[in-house]
Structure 1
Amino acid sequence: MSVVIFLALGAILLIVAEFFVPGGVLGFIGSIMGIIAAVMCFHLFGVRTGLYFVFGLFLFVTLMVAILVTVGHKLPFKKSLYLSSTTQNANVSLDYLASLVGKDGTALTMLRPSGRISIDGKRYDAQSEGIYVDKGTTVKVLRIENNHLIIRPKSSEQEE
């Protein structure tokens, strides 16, 4: 009897632990332990007790999962359970990058065709329009594509 109880408790703990350590391994092992406990219960105590055990185990696991899903966001360690980021930060970043269009900067690395530039003392990922730009060259931001500043050397802009 005690083996069945330990297997059932282990199964419940591992299935609930799956919420804290995602990946499926703990939940899978817990499910296997629950099945083994149910088979042992059927074998040791008969069909009626085995069915009660399976129903009780299913009900308890379902109840624990429901509680974690509904009340889990209020737990003090919720940051490890739920992703709570929003896309507002991404929009602010794009708006900020858009404000750099038309500004001048300096190439911190050689752009072949991508590299790093500095505008007003801050570093940014940048990409030239397919040409190599030497380190230290003054560049102008033309547009934004895929969170990269598209730049052109200031000297080639004056030639056109």
Structure 2
Amino acid sequence: MPYPAFYLNGWEALLIFMIGFLALLVEILVIPGFGLVGLAGILFMLFALYLALHAPGAVLAALALAILVAAVVLYWAWRRMEEKRLLNQLILTDNQESKAGYLAPDPSWQKLVGKSGLTLTPLRPAGKVEIAGQVVDVVSEGEYLPGGVKVTVIKVEGQRIVVRKEKPGP
């Protein structure tokens, strides 16, 4: 069988294959989706295989063998993970229940906006404040506030109650 006019040695074919592989990595890790870079990477890799094997039939046979081996290895790995219960370690199966300490935002916290309180602990920027006889965890706007300072609730964002130091009045 005559070689094509663009026949290259093994090093050039390996270099073209590596360029295609790097293009696929860029597509997977950097650019979301499947686009031009990924397609170019696949074409470069197929072209490198054609150059290395010198025959389209051999390239197709090598691809079919590679796909078959990959499928067998993936099936074997999946079965091993099931046997050793490794999938349960990779998948989050816990529920976030209130008895475990997870709390949904309390709608009554919205009523705290505009109310004043006294810091029980220093806010660095998080700490505890007593507001209307209730001790709540709060966050300052980012500044350090020592304990015993009067604060006002300025907003409530889900579980987060944000306070600001009250300005001294006349």
Give the structure with higher Rg (CA): 2
TM over 0.5: no
Output the TM-score relative to the length of structure 2: 0.38
